[in-house]
């Protein structure tokens, strides 16, 4: 397919004067701005390049069958997004897939291989099948390598994706019973530690040990304890024997069978964790634990527990398939006990994993509308609803969360317009001192109530045409690792609003003075700016004067209130 793609796409040096609509192959730094690679060149860009002494540039032009990288990534990612997954907006040919909730990742490795074999321009990378994942964790990424991909290849990749969508099986099991058997020399401290460690394991998958029994290490005693746990409503029973299980006819399996249960499989090709016993009684899983389950170190039992917690059956086939990758001893990916349970459990350890950024929205709705005379423009009707309601409704439909609205002038009217929307209202009594005070009030509210906010999209309440998709594009572009910490929408090279700022700028935004926003941060941190091309000039359309309002009202004629 390599030669086929290059036959379809024209790539190489072209005269700048003839480059209208071409895709810039390499970033070019100009005085006061930079044109990033992948930019579709506009007339203003060409004039700037020629003026800066660039008569020739490296660029690509798409042919009829080519699909632009962003659209190609979107088409492939959309059918991959099964139950329990969400996707971000495409950016630079990439779409990321995230977990919508905790659970087990189900992904068809063979289908991933088939998809990646369609064309080298199209790639899909995922976490390993059966990985336990947390809400918002990054699960996979579709990346189009060049600036476009052949339409036929995109269609085939999308077909494969639709045949095997990824999914996250939600953790549903919550009530776990624990049985520990005792021999004459069993120490209580060992039993107490086991209870504590297994309790942490249960919490890591959203469950809890709700009942514990300690009994003699005899088959009859085990049978009685199993019956009691199931009668008490336990959805799964764990048995930690005082002596390791060494045979299907040993004490623990014999006790399970005496309780009416069935041994499904003994042993697993995972080390540590070899001596797991998988059984069932009354339709509920019963697990004979290996000795390593008493330790917080990751072991084969964790894989079993995670699947069972998500309602996935663990039979002989599942256990025997765990051998590849099952050597956990000395593995770099095997967390140490302190790493696993430090600060309250495994989830703390996983928070460092790649995940969807948590970006808040800050809506500035405190202005006095001085250029409108005595009229409050935010309360003006557009299609039957106040302007501020249109603006905030659109923002609330985006991926930004939470949505914080700062009020000031006539706060009762703004609050009434937003009464039934899921937003946080913050009043700025100093609104008369300028826009900066509202910005500072909103950022202070975020820092106080949303410590995990990684950034904020600063929105203006008098821009009701900005669609949720534009905000989502900004969020998709945000990536501090790659130096994209300020994301600005641009239409035909003209920057507009809203603007996304990373959390590192919060302190500076609180220090702004006067009737200005945070625009000065753009000139001070040009190297961290990412221009996000949008196809709608709404990012430039605000309402400042009566003529502006009349034009905006005309746009909303016939709209639903």
- Domain membership of residue 185 (yes or no) is yes
Mean pLDDT to the nearest integer, 157-180: 97
Clarify whether residues 59 and 71 are in a common domain. Answer: no
Q: What pLDDT was estimated at residue 60?
A: 83
Mean pLDDT to the nearest integer, 542-554: 91
Clarify whether residues 98 and 199 are in a common domain. Answer: no
Question: Which tens digit of pLDDT belongs to each residue from 405-444?
Answer: 999 999 999 999 999 999 999 999 999 888 899 999 999 9
For the ranges 139-143, 168-172, 344-348, 538-542, the lowest mean pLDDT is seen at: 344-348
- Domain membership of residue 124 (yes or no) is yes
* Per-residue tokens: 163: 């045949």
Question: Which tens digit of pLDDT belongs to each residue from 269-315?
Answer: 999 999 999 999 999 999 999 999 999 999 999 999 999 999 999 99
Is pLDDT of 386 > 70? Answer: yes
Q: What is the 3-state secondary structure (H, E, C) of 276-297?
A: CEEEEECCEEEEECCHHHHCCC
Q: At what angle do helices 300-309 and 188-204 cross, to 10 degrees?
A: 50
439 contacts 509 by C-beta, under 8 angstroms? yes
Clarify whether residues 163 and 187 are in a common domain. Answer: no
Q: What pLDDT was estimated at residue 264?
A: 98
CATH number at residue 475: 3.90.550.10
Question: Which tens digit of pLDDT belongs to each residue from 298-308?
Answer: 999 999 999 99
Q: What pLDDT was estimated at residue 513?
A: 83
CATH number at residue 44: 3.90.105.10
As a whole number, the mean pLDDT across the chain is 90
- Domain membership of residue 46 (yes or no) is yes
Clarify whether residues 120 and 200 are in a common domain. Answer: no
Task: Give the domain range for residue 10.
Answer: 2-64
- Compute and round to an integer the Cα radius of gyration of the chain: 29
CATH number at residue 209: 3.40.980
Residue burial 57-66, b: 16+ Cβ < 10 Å; e: rest: bebbbbeeeb
Clarify whether residues 136 and 221 are in a common domain. Answer: no
- Domain membership of residue 60 (yes or no) is yes
Mean pLDDT to the nearest integer, 92-102: 96
* Per-residue tokens: 346: 């495994």
Mean pLDDT to the nearest integer, 341-349: 40
Residue 287 CA neighbour count, 13 Å, CB half: 32
Number of domains composing the chain: 4
Strands (E), 314-390: 359-365, 381-382, 385-386
Q: What pLDDT was estimated at residue 360?
A: 96
When pLDDT is cut at 50, 70 and 90, the band that residue 8 belongs to is: very low
Clarify whether residues 165 and 49 are in a common domain. Answer: no
Question: Which tens digit of pLDDT belongs to each residue from 172-197?
Answer: 999 999 999 999 999 999 999 999 99
Q: What pLDDT was estimated at residue 178?
A: 98
Q: Which of 139, 170, 201 is the last residue of a domain?
A: 170
- Show contacts of 449-454: CB within 8 Å, 24+ apart: 449/402, 449/424, 450/358, 450/360, 450/402, 452/358, 453/358, 453/359, 453/360, 453/503, 454/357, 454/358, 454/359, 454/478, 454/502, 454/503
- Domain membership of residue 560 (yes or no) is no
- Domain membership of residue 561 (yes or no) is no
- Domain membership of residue 195 (yes or no) is yes
Clarify whether residues 447 and 546 are in a common domain. Answer: yes
Mean pLDDT to the nearest integer, 88-110: 96
Clarify whether residues 74 and 57 are in a common domain. Answer: no
Clarify whether residues 71 and 57 are in a common domain. Answer: no
- DSSP string of 468-525, one letter each residue: HHHHHHHHHH-BGGGTB-EEEEEETTEE-S-EEEEGGGHHHHHT--SS--STHHHHHT
Clarify whether residues 368 and 332 are in a common domain. Answer: no
Is pLDDT of 518 > 60? Answer: yes
Is pLDDT of 527 > 90? Answer: no
When pLDDT is cut at 50, 70 and 90, the band that residue 561 belongs to is: very low
- Domain membership of residue 114 (yes or no) is yes
Mean pLDDT to the nearest integer, 6-16: 69
Q: What pLDDT was estimated at residue 112?
A: 98
Q: What pLDDT was estimated at residue 4?
A: 40
Question: Which tens digit of pLDDT belongs to each residue from 52-83?
Answer: 999 999 988 888 789 999 999 999 999 999 99
Is pLDDT of 344 > 70? Answer: no
For the ranges 154-158, 482-486, 539-543, the lowest mean pLDDT is seen at: 482-486
**Total H helices, total E strands in the chain:** 19, 30
* Per-residue tokens: 505: 């700028």
Is pLDDT of 1 > 60? Answer: no
Strands (E), 336-392: 359-365, 381-382, 385-386
Does residue 368 or residue 264 have the better pLDDT?
A: 264
137 contacts 353 by C-beta, under 8 angstroms? yes
CATH number at residue 153: 3.90.1170.30
Q: Which of 291, 320, 350 is the last residue of a domain?
A: 350
Is pLDDT of 348 > 70? Answer: no
Mean pLDDT to the nearest integer, 246-265: 97
Clarify whether residues 316 and 369 are in a common domain. Answer: no
Is pLDDT of 352 > 70? Answer: no
Clarify whether residues 92 and 60 are in a common domain. Answer: no
Q: How far is CA 357 from CA 30, 139, 480, 529, in A?
A: 31, 13, 10, 17
Q: Which of 15, 35, 64 is the last residue of a domain?
A: 64
Q: What is the pTM of this model?
A: 0.83
């Amino acid at each position: 397919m390599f030669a086929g793609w290059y036959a379809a796409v024209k790539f190489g040096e072209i005269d700048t004067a003839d480059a209208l609509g071409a895709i810039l192959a390499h970033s070019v730094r100009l005085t006061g701005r930079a044109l990033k690679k992948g930019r579709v060149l506009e007339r203003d860009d060409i004039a700037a390049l020629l003026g800066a002494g660039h008569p020739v540039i490296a660029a690509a032009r798409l042919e009829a069958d080519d699909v632009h990288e962003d659209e190609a990534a979107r088409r492939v990612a959309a059918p991959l997004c099964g139950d329990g997954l969400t996707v971000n907006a495409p950016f630079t040919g990439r779409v990321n897939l995230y977990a919508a909730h905790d659970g087990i990742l189900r992904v068809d490795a063979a289908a991933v291989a088939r998809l990646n074999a369609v064309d080298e321009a199209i790639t899909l990378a995922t976490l390993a099948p059966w990985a336990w994942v947390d809400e918002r964790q990054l699960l996979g990424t579709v990346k189009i390598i060049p600036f476009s991909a052949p339409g036929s290849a995109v269609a085939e990749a999308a077909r494969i994706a639709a045949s095997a969508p990824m999914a996250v099986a939600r953790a549903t099991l919550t009530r776990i019973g624990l049985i520990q058997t005792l021999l004459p020399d069993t120490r209580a401290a060992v039993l107490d530690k086991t209870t504590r460690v297994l309790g942490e394991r249960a919490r890591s998958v959203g469950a809890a040990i709700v009942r514990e029994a300690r009994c003699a290490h005899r088959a009859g005693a085990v049978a009685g304890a199993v019956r009691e746990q199931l009668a008490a409503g336990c959805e799964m029973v764990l048995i930690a024997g005082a002596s390791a299980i060494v045979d299907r006819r040993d004490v623990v399996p014999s006790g399970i069978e005496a309780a009416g249960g069935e041994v499904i499989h003994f042993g697993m090709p995972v080390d540590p964790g070899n001596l797991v016993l998988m059984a069932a009684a009354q339709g509920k899983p019963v697990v004979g634990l290996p000795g390593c389950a008493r330790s917080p170190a990751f072991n084969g039992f964790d894989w079993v527990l995670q699947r069972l917690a998500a309602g996935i059956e663990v039979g002989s086939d599942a256990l025997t398939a765990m051998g590849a990758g099952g050597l956990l001893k000395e593995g770099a990916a095997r967390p140490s006990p302190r790493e696993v349970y430090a600060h309250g459990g495994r989830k703390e350890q996983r928070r460092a994993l790649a995940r969807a950024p948590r970006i808040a929205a800050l809506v500035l709705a405190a202005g006095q509308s001085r250029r409108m005379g005595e009229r409050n423009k935010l309360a003006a009707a557009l299609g039957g609803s106040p302007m501020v309601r249109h603006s905030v409704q659109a923002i609330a439909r985006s991926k930004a969360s939470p949505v914080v609205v700062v009020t000031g002038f006539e706060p009762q009217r703004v609050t009434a317009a937003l009464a039934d929307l899921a937003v946080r209202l913050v009043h700025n009594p100093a609104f008369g001192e300028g826009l900066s005070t509202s910005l500072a009030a909103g950022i202070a509210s975020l820092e106080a109530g949303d410590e995990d906010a990684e950034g904020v999209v600063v929105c203006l309440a008098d821009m009701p045409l900005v669609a949720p998709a534009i905000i989502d594009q900004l969020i998709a572009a945000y990536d501090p690792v790659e130096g994209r910490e300020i994301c600005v929408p641009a239409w035909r090279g003209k920057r507009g609003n809203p603007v996304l700022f990373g959390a590192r700028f919060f302190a500076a935004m609180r220090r702004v003075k006067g009737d200005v926003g945070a625009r000065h941060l753009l000139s001070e941190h040009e190297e961290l700016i990412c221009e996000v091309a949008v196809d709608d000039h709404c990012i430039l359309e605000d309402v400042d004067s009566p003529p502006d309002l009349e034009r905006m009202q005309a746009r909303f004629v016939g709209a639903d209130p």
